[in-house]
A and B are shown apart, each in its own frame.
Chain A
Amino acid sequence: MPNPLDLIRKLGHAMVERIWRLGFASRFLVAILAQSGTSFRRLSLTLREIYFGGVLSLLIILVSGLFVGLVLGLQGYEILQRFGSTEALGTLVALSLTRELGPVLAAIFFASRAGSSITAEIGLMKATEQLKAMDMMAVNPIARVVAPRFWGGVISMPLLAALFSAMGVIGGWLIGVVFIGVDDGAYWSQMQASVDFRYDVWNGVIKSFVFGIAVSLIAVFEGYDSVPTAEGVSRAITRTVVTSALSILALDFILTSFMFRGAS
């Protein structure tokens, strides 16, 4: 039977630890922003990270976007059929993708595909004392290693989310129009009539940009703050994926409640 006082002390310790890390993460973000000059002056550093984070995530984003669109098309048709309004399929697919599913799912895929590898890379660099070696050579590791990875993620994320939504719309079109036989003109015209550029598409882009900042910051921070052992790095990678997914969904709720209050 553990001592109840002991339990309370552990709980308090965990709380203080969390707040401590949050403060450190905020200071870390400021340090990244202050040291960002290098990532744009030596653009090849950032381009390399866009390649590893964005280009190599293309396949999973495109394929999963297509499948999400296919499923939305099937399920949407099945439900809309009950109300005799299958022409609204385009509206349903496009709105759910541009507003929510595109940014959120693309960000979660990005976190698990690219965020985890960024954490592993920086964590291993720390474990093998490469970051310290850079410091010894008067190379700032935040400017040389962390900031380009951060900006690579922030730049890639909106592009990936747009691709995800576009593929989803095409997937919904494939199922709805090509296979089931919803009218082609109705699919596109109903979609265009109800999707507003500023209200729906642009808000989705803003969301994906915010998610990009959150996921990239979590990935580089967990790597930089990891315990420099094999076990510590593996724990940091797990934390990256879990924290990213949770903060994406929480941020999505906050952003949605600001953006789509319902106009009345």
Chain B
Amino acid sequence: MNRTILDLWVGFFVAIGIAAFFFLALKVGNLSSSHMSETYVLQAKFDNIGGLKVRGPVKSAGVVVGRIADIRFDPQTYEAIVTMNIDGRYRFPKDTFAAIFTAGLLGEQYIGFDVGGDEKMLQPGDTIGKTQSAVVLEKLISQFLFSKASDGQEKQ
């Protein structure tokens, strides 16, 4: 069996095809930066999660430290239970405050960790005690309007 010019062309085709695939993986996708090798699970209960989505980010000081793995409804307490996979390199104190924020005015919602000063660390599987729910824009506006209305009555 001899090498032919056809083999050269097929080799060229396969090589640039694989190169395109690597381009998609590394330059377009984020295979290089986003992999979290080891994760552990934390849970948090919220009264209202707003528009939080599974696979959304968990941030601390603006850095992504984990992903939201699961969102369930607890029929006993009528709260939402959010399960998060946190990067194994990071540990957080016991009194960490989990709040739901919005990136920009209309952006996606994420969980932000405000770190406390406790000596003890949260262990894998723990539930974060202190949480703050998502801000619902309608509630905010109606609160503002009602307070304005009551102000006006007092002036009269």
Contact = CB atoms under 8 A, between A and B. Distances in A.
A188 to B, nearest CB: 7
Interface in B1-28: 1, 4, 6-7, 9-10, 12-14, 16-18, 20-21, 23-25, 27-28
Contacts of A50: 10, 13-14
Contacts of A191: 28
A200 B29 contact: yes
B20 A159 contact: yes
A165 B21 CA distance: 9
Given A94-B28, A165-B24, A201-B24, A192 B33 contact: yes
A60 B30 CA distance: 28
B55 A193 contact: no
Interface string B19-48: 011011101111101100000000000000
B6 A51 contact: yes
A43 to B, nearest CB: 9
A159 B26 CA distance: 16
A191 B18 CA distance: 20
Interface string B41-75: 00000000000011100000000000000010000
Contacts, number: 86
A263 B10 contact: no
A192 B30 CA distance: 5
B17 A160 contact: yes
Contacts of B21: 158-159, 162, 205
Interface in A135-193: 156, 158-160, 162-163, 165-167, 169, 188, 191-193
Contacts of A160: 17
A51 B31 contact: no
A48 interface: yes
Interface in B123-147: none
Contacts of A48: 6
Contacts of B18: 159
B10 A196 contact: no
Contact of B14 (A159, A188, A193, A201): A159
A71 interface: no
Contact of B13 (A159, A188, A197, A263): A159
22 contacts: A50-B14, A51-B6, A54-B13, A54-B17, A55-B12, A55-B13, A158-B17, A159-B21, A162-B21, A166-B20, A167-B20, A192-B28, A192-B29, A192-B30, A193-B30, A195-B28, A195-B29, A196-B30, A196-B34, A201-B24, A263-B55, A264-B71
Interface of A: 44, 47-48, 50-51, 54-55, 58, 94, 98, 156, 158-160, 162-163, 165-167, 169, 188, 191-193, 195-197, 200-201, 204-205, 263-264
Given A51-B6, A55-B10, A163-B17, 20 more contacts: A47-B6, A50-B13, A54-B13, A94-B28, A98-B24, A98-B28, A159-B13, A159-B17, A162-B24, A166-B23, A166-B24, A192-B27, A192-B29, A192-B30, A195-B28, A195-B30, A197-B25, A197-B34, A200-B29, A201-B29
